[in-house]
């Protein structure tokens, strides 16, 4: 039992020593410290251990500091560590400072850190400031005064403005302003032929409007890459207007026709009302004759002569032709 307990104790001691060595190797990045010393960067072991305790990755701070020192920049490790704790990208900031220093661009660490924390790629901004960037606009359609549509594509050459990267508008604003300028310039042209003959007039007019105001870029040039002739918008609008006028005229004519038909039906109804009045009046004739017989004002011979006159009238009407009233009733 004593030998087994001794072996167990020795095993635990060896494990504890091994774990301590692992923890020490993790807490004290000796290799990184040697790299910094060999590069001429004075970093203490205590600073590296403190980074571990503050949950800061020592390589993410020390290696960019080594690169900056080799490039001739004087940066403080505390500033780099503070930028790391603020959520910034130390390597991108240091690379941007090195590129700006080589290109003779005035860029301080605080300014680069502010640009990085604002969400912009400060290293890319320095590159764009040194090497201007070309932005292709989408196809912009506009109509000249003669009604012909033109479709233009422009190439905008921009350079990053370091001083306006924080709070300045991005590429989308540049493209929107350039598109608006192209539409305005083409729309103010009297003829599409003038635009096709001098497309550089568009770029000159748009460039002089100061479209880069309030943006993070400086517009160097605006070049019209392509201009295509589109539809004849003016003719299409006139055709649509003529079609609309035709429909309005047809609607009004249909309205007048409907009113005429209604008037015709109304007049027919009035004719039938008048015929009913005539029939009603004719119905009073036999009553009057009967009353004349009773009063002694009409004799038999008088009534015979009245019937003969009616018969002669009917005969003449039959000889003359069919009765219009009977024809309208569908009778012969």
CB 306: neighbour CB atoms within 10 A?
A: 13
The answer to whether the beta carbons of residues 150 and 142 sit under 8 Å apart is: yes
**pLDDT tens profile 79-121:** 888 998 888 889 999 999 998 888 888 888 888 888 888 888 8
- Alpha carbon dihedral 120, 122, 124, 129, in 10-degree steps, equals 110
**pLDDT tens profile 224-283:** 888 888 787 777 778 888 889 899 999 999 999 999 999 999 999 999 989 888 888 888
Query: Which has more confidence, 222 or 33?
Result: 222
DSSP for residue 140: E
What do you get for the CA distance between the two ends of the chain, in Å? 145
Q: Average pLDDT, stretch 6-31?
A: 62
**pLDDT tens profile 122-158:** 888 888 888 888 888 888 888 888 888 888 888 888 8
pLDDT at residue 21 tops 70: no
Mean pLDDT highest for which of 49-58, 176-185, 302-311? 176-185
Q: What are the helix (H) ranges across the chain?
A: 2-27, 30-38, 45-53, 58-70, 77-85, 90-102, 109-117, 122-130, 171-187, 192-197, 200-207, 233-282, 284-295, 300-320, 324-328
Side-chain-side CA neighbours of 132 within 13 Å: the count stands at 13
Q: Average pLDDT, stretch 193-201?
A: 81
pLDDT at 4: 64
- Alpha carbon dihedral 60, 63, 69, 74, in 10-degree steps, equals 20
Q: Average pLDDT, stretch 209-219?
A: 81
Q: Average pLDDT, stretch 166-189?
A: 84
């Amino acid at each position: 039992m004593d030998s087994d307990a001794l072996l167990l104790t020795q095993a635990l001691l060896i494990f504890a020593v091994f774990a301590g060595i692992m923890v020490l190797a993790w807490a004290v990045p000796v290799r990184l410290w040697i790299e910094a010393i060999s590069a001429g960067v004075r970093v203490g072991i205590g600073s590296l251990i403190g980074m571990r305790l503050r949950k800061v990755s020592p390589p993410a701070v020390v290696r960019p500091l080594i690169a900056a020192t080799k490039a001739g920049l004087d940066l403080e490790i505390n500033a780099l560590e503070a930028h790391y704790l603020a959520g910034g990208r130390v390597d991108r900031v240091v690379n941007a400072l090195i590129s700006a220093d080589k290109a003779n661009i005035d860029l301080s660490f605080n300014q680069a850190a502010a640009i990085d924390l604002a969400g912009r790629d400060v290293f890319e901004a320095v590159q764009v400031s040194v090497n201007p960037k070309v932005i292709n606009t989408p196809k912009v359609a506009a109509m000249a005064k003669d009604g012909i549509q033109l479709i233009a594509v422009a190439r905008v050459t921009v350079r990053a403005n370091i001083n306006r990267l924080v709070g300045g508008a991005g590429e989308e604003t540049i493209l929107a302003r350039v598109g608006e300028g192209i539409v305005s310039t083409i729309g103010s042209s009297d003829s599409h032929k003038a635009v096709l003959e001098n497309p550089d007039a568009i770029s000159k007019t748009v460039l002089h409007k100061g479209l880069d105001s309030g943006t993070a870029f400086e517009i160097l040039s605006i070049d019209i890459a392509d201009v295509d002739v589109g539809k004849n918008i003016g003719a299409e609008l006139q055709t649509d207007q003529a079609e609309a006028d035709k429909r309005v005229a047809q609607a009004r004519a249909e309205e007048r026709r409907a009113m005429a038909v209604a008037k015709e039906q109304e007049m027919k109804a009035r004719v039938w009302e008048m015929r009913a009045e005539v029939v009603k009046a004719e119905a009073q004739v036999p009553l009057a004759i009967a009353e004349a017989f009773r009063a002694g004002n009409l004799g038999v011979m008088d009534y015979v002569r009245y019937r003969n006159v009616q018969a002669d009238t009917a005969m003449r009407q039959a000889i003359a032709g069919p009765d219009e009233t009977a024809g309208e009733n569908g009778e012969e």
